[in-house]
Amino acid sequence: MAADPKTRSEIEQLRDDGAETELELRLKQRIEFGTAGLRGRMAAGFACMNSLTVIQASQGLAKFIKTQRPEIASQGVVIGHDARHNSDRFAVLAANAFIALQIPVWFFDQEAPTPLVPFGVNHFKAAAGIMVTASHNPPQDNESLYTGYKVYSSNGAQINRPEDGEIAQSILENLEPWPTAWEDQRPSEYLHDKSYRELLPHYVKRVEQYARSTVSDWKSPRPFVYTPLHGVGGLVLPTVCQSLGIKNFVSVPAQEKPDPDFPTVKFPNPEEAGALDLAMETADKEGKTLIIANDPNADRFAVAERVNGKWFLFTGNHVGVLLASHVFDSLDMTTDLSKTTVLTTTVSSGMLGSMAAAKGCQFQETLTGFKWMANVARDLEKDGQTVPFAYEEALGYMFPSVCYDKDGITAAAVFLAAEAKWRDQGLTIYDKLQQIFATHGHHETMNNYFRSPNPELTIKLFQGIRSGSFLTDKKLGPFKVLRWRDLTEGYDSASSNNKPDLPEDPTSQMLTLWLDRGVRFTFRGSGTEPKVKFYIESHGDSLDDATKAVCDAFMAISEEWVQRYTPSMMCSKQIPTSSGHVLELDQ
């Protein structure tokens, strides 16, 4: 049996150097397979992403499909990859496992945006999909050395419970690499290696048709600058724009081609400060006032606009409600709005619910992540509901008419259609956002995190919170506690039986509080990063009132919870709100 000499020598070098702590971190526990599939640092060891762990995951998934889904196994799996280091190699190793069990593989022989895989699962009616990519990774990691293995079920949505657990068990039962596991790709009757070229025109056509369907009179947007942040979006979005007749844009030259080393950005996530600096420089040089961006695997989408001489970066919640407003406007008179549902997650803005109620549509909140929203959307559709749109605050937007996952390419096309419509009405994007606030009240948000060096400290913090007097006293700092929901322990103070309206998850830490002054916030431990995240929102009549409320809520969380139970946890010294106000902390 062949093995990977590079990772083997890496472990041997650590052994020779006496790096016992590092060896224990890499070898003591296996990388965990869950609803996010696999993701982690690329390095040698069972706890990391490498050829062996990809082979093992693929063998487990292939065996699961062959034995537990035999009626659809012959429909094959879609396997794609982005442009990161080793992504193409990992995709080949993944394909070997399925071919070994005579399961057809719809293989992407070139790098592609993530949304193409869930789209491909539905297009080919496949049994599953795999995308080798990284997404939303820890800033302290070297971004170019981080990757993941994302798995989709036969419905085109990410796997969820209990399927993830069943696949994880199958992986443990198939750890020994099969005879052909390490081979390079070679021709096979089960390998369809031209699948991407076959699929891409269908995807572009679907995106074009959907974007055009959201307006009664198609018009091109104003001139703009586009950046794919050294990712794969630049390989597809210009083609989509061409199909829509959009020509008045320029790409950031230094960032338009895929580069796994991301040489011009410290952290290639458009949510992060500084990620769009080069795009802003390009726009200023070109005299353009609009920027759109994708993250490197093109499933996220971001927008910036020059407002009063300065660049304003719209938050994920801003873009979410702007897109929702446009989608609501596009629903024609024949649509039964009572059977139309929009979705968002518990960490996103509540404004979508207000907008849906005003329109006469249904609204539903889910747990965090598109694995929840996509599967909920599928379930709603089975019950006769239409789900035109879903979003999460981390710059993710889903249009089920195209695919059942966040899709930065479709989001860009739809947003450009909306921008042209608003411009025709005499509105900038920022003007349209203020118009929405004037109608539904100002929603100010503050999303950030405390750094938690280890899971034990995170658990200590939440244990301290739960042992406090917040429920009995119904107070948190200057606020009255109106409702308390604990999805870790399955409790909700607002329900008649104290059971929550969302699935409980004892393996994670997650609390949501509703306070007076229109404040709601969620406090949760990250499952993939050394952070405790908070998402604060205030709904007020004015920007000043809403801003003060979110800042006061943050100070209450910091003083009453974090400083009391885990004073070693730290936060940024400057925390911005969604309107651009910055809370300065003295630490």
The rounded radius of gyration (Å) of the Cα atoms in the chain is 24
Q: Are 314 and 302 in contact (CB under 8 A)?
A: yes
Give CA–CA dist 172/182, Å, rounded: 19
Q: 440: number of CA atoms within 13 Å, CB side?
A: 23
Q: Are 307 and 240 in contact (CB under 8 A)?
A: no
Contacting residues for 120 by C-beta, under 8 A, at least 6 apart: 78, 80, 106, 126, 129, 195, 199
Structure tokens given for 409 = 């390419």
Structure tokens given for 320 = 């979410």
Give CA–CA dist 164/507, Å, rounded: 14
Q: Are 77 and 58 in contact (CB under 8 A)?
A: no
Structure tokens given for 257 = 């081609």
Q: Which residues pair with 302 in a beta bridge?
A: 293
First to last CA, the chain: 56
DSSP 8-state symbol, 178: P
| Closest alpha carbon to 131 in 403, 518, 486, 536 | 403
Q: Tell me the torsion sign for CA atoms 314, 420, 397, 124.
A: negative
Using DSSP bridges, classify how beta strands 224-227 and 105-107 pair: parallel, antiparallel or unpaired.
unpaired
- Grouping H, G, I as helix, E, B as strand and the rest as coil, residue 210 is helix
Give CA–CA dist 487/501, Å, rounded: 9
- Grouping H, G, I as helix, E, B as strand and the rest as coil, residue 267 is coil
| Closest alpha carbon to 81 in 106, 59, 105, 111 | 111
Give CA–CA dist 22/15, Å, rounded: 9
> What residues are labeled active site?
135
Structure tokens given for 58 = 């693929």
Q: Are 587 and 465 in contact (CB under 8 A)?
A: no
Q: Are 392 and 369 in contact (CB under 8 A)?
A: yes
- Grouping H, G, I as helix, E, B as strand and the rest as coil, residue 458 is helix
Q: 384: number of CA atoms within 13 Å, CB side?
A: 4
Q: Are 512 and 494 in contact (CB under 8 A)?
A: no
Q: Are 215 and 417 in contact (CB under 8 A)?
A: yes
Contacting residues for 507 by C-beta, under 8 A, at least 6 apart: none
Q: What's 533-547 look like in SS3?
A: EEEEEEEECCHHHHH
